[in-house]
Structure formats: C-alpha cells, structure tokens
C-alpha cells in the first residue's frame, strides 16, 4: 500500500492531516460513487420503511435528486482535479492512490510524488474543504 502521508519538505500543497486522509479516501471511493451515481440516474425505486401501510413521508424524488447532485459534485471535483496532472503521469498517480501500486519507473518518484500532492490538494480545493 502506498504511504498515506505528505512530505513537508518544500511542499506547496500541504494539507492538514485529517483533510489529507479524507481526500485520499474520497479519491479511493471514486468507482463506488460513480456506480451509485449511475444507478440513481438510471432510476431507483422509492425506498419503503418496511411498515405495512407504507408510511413514507416527504418527497422521495427530491431526496434522490439531492443525493445525485451531491455524488455528481464529488465526481466532478475529482475529474476536474485530474486535469492538473500531465497525461503521462495520470495513470501512475491514480493507480498509486486508488490501488496502492508503486509508481512506474519511467520517471523519478519525486516527480510522481509532486503530481500526487498537487492532485490531492486540487481535489480538496474542488470539494470546497479549503
């Protein structure tokens, strides 16, 4: 598994430790969020509370729309942050964060580390944590 800490030496994209971890886990959860969002968009039956008469209150359509909007914002924050990474480093950074694989050997580890730091910082900024 990759290291889940930030190097502080000359890092212009330093985040508080808890925010850094939250952002990493949001990125790692990208595939599940995307599946859930697509499921909501395709149509989801209204959730019942298990009571025989069906005591569902409120507006289930509005609740589904609000949840879909929240998931879409999370996906957009990550997708927008991917644009700050050059294309040749994107797969290495993404695989390192999501799957914990080692960086490819086509560039130095510090190059990948720099792009990873910038990517995580941009995701946190796009999710309006900063």
pLDDT digits (tens, 9 = 90+) for 44-55: 655 555 666 655
Condensed to tens digits (0 to 9), the pLDDT of residues 22-39 reads 999 999 999 999 999 998
Give yes or no for a contact between 74 and 26, defined as CB atoms under 8 angstroms apart: yes
Burial class (CB in 10 A: 0-12, 13-18, 19+), 47: exposed
pTM: 0.79
Q: In whole angstroms, how far apart are CA 84 and each of 12, 55, 79, 89, 126?
A: 14, 48, 10, 10, 12
């Amino acid at each position: 598994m990759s290291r889940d800490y930030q190097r502080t030496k000359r890092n212009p994209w330093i985040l508080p430790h808890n925010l850094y971890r939250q952002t990493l886990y949001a990125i790692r959860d990208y595939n599940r969020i995307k599946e859930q969002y697509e499921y909501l968009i395709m149509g989801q039956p209204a959730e019942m509370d298990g009571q025989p008469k069906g005591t569902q209150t409120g507006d289930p359509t509005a609740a589904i729309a609000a949840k879909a909007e929240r998931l879409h914002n999370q996906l957009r924050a990550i997708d927008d942050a991917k644009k700050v990474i050059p294309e040749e480093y994107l797969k290495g950074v993404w695989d390192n964060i999501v799957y914990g694989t080692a960086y490819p050997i086509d560039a130095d580890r510090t190059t990948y580390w720099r792009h990873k730091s910038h990517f995580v910082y941009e995701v946190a900024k796009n999710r309006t944590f900063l």
